[in-house]
Chains A and B, each alone.
Chain A
């Protein structure tokens, strides 16, 4: 696609429910990143993928969070048993390669609201 696509753009859920957020990166980008942004705050790194592999999961806030990437393309971030503190904008980004000198292309995010 032309840019990074995320769905849904908005998700309202009840506390305790599971949610799945989807990210479709720019075609050909091998690196994919998930960030979380709370209202008025900076970006909190969650997890990254090189191809289908996620070498470091230490950024995930708790074991209720998991992510996978299949076929080197689409990624899903799953939050189980959602809590109110999970409410935030979840941003996905991709880059051509995994390197600190590669600029990131961000999606518009999923606004998650846990009631």
Chain B
């Protein structure tokens, strides 16, 4: 099976930087996704990492270390609209090519 851990809640200040961590244990790793989900809405795709390193996309960056089973999502210049849940999801070849989601991190951005 797969085990995915991420903090339940985080609070940060508008304009600041926040890092949301995700650790996982799996065999047959085949990629890691981050999704954003605003309250009452559908999750939307943010980033995908399959190789080690940092992927930057505007204010959002995602990092992966396969040897450590670790990823983080970095949000810069936080805005109030970034208040949402951030879901880490891991794919594995031996899990029928399915994505397994973590419990999500609820981020609250305060003025």
Complex Cα–Cα for A38 and B76 (A): 30
Chain A residues within an 8 Å CB radius of B31: 100-101
Task: For B48, list chain A residues within 8 Å (CB).
Answer: 101, 103
Please classify the interface of chain B as helix (H, G, I), strand (E, B), loop, or mixed, using the class held by over half of its residues: strand
A109 on the interface (CB 8 Å rule)? yes
Chain B nearest CB: distance from A35 CB in Å? 8
- In addition to A101-B31, A101-B48, A103-B48, 20 A-B residue pairs with Cβ atoms within 8 Å of each other are A4-B42, A41-B104, A42-B101, A42-B102, A43-B87, A43-B89, A43-B101, A45-B98, A45-B100, A45-B101, A55-B96, A56-B96, A99-B97, A100-B91, A100-B99, A104-B35, A104-B45, A104-B99, A106-B42, A108-B42
Interface size on B, residues (CB 8 A): 26
CB distance from B52 to the nearest CB of A (A): 16
A91 CB within 8 Å of chain B: yes
Q: Which residues of A contact B35 (CB under 8 A)?
A: 104
B7 at the interface (CB under 8 A from A): no
Q: What string of 1s and 0s marks CB contacts (under 8 Å) between B78-111 and chain A?
A: 0000000001010111001111111110100000
Contacts of A49 in B (CB 8 A): none
Write 17 A-B pairs (CB below 8 A) sorted by A numbering: A40-B106, A42-B87, A42-B101, A43-B43, A43-B87, A43-B101, A48-B98, A91-B43, A98-B97, A101-B30, A101-B31, A103-B33, A104-B35, A104-B99, A106-B44, A107-B42, A108-B41
> Do B30 and A41 touch across chains, with their CB atoms under 8 A apart?
no
Interface centre among A35, A56, A100 (most CB of B within 10 A): A100
Nearest opposing residue in chain B for A92, CB measure: B42
Q: Render B23-35 as a binary contact track against A, CB cut-off 8 A, 1 for contact.
A: 0000000110101
Q: What is the chain B residue whose CB lies nearest that of A59?
A: B98
Q: How far, in whole Å, are A103 and B103 apart by their CA atoms in the complex?
A: 18
List the A residue with the shortest CB-CB distance to B28: A100
Question: How near does chain B come to A70, taking the closest CB pair, in angstroms?
Answer: 22
A91: nearest chain-B partner, CB-CB = B42
Contact with B along A19-42 (1 / 0, CB 8 A): 000000000000000010000111
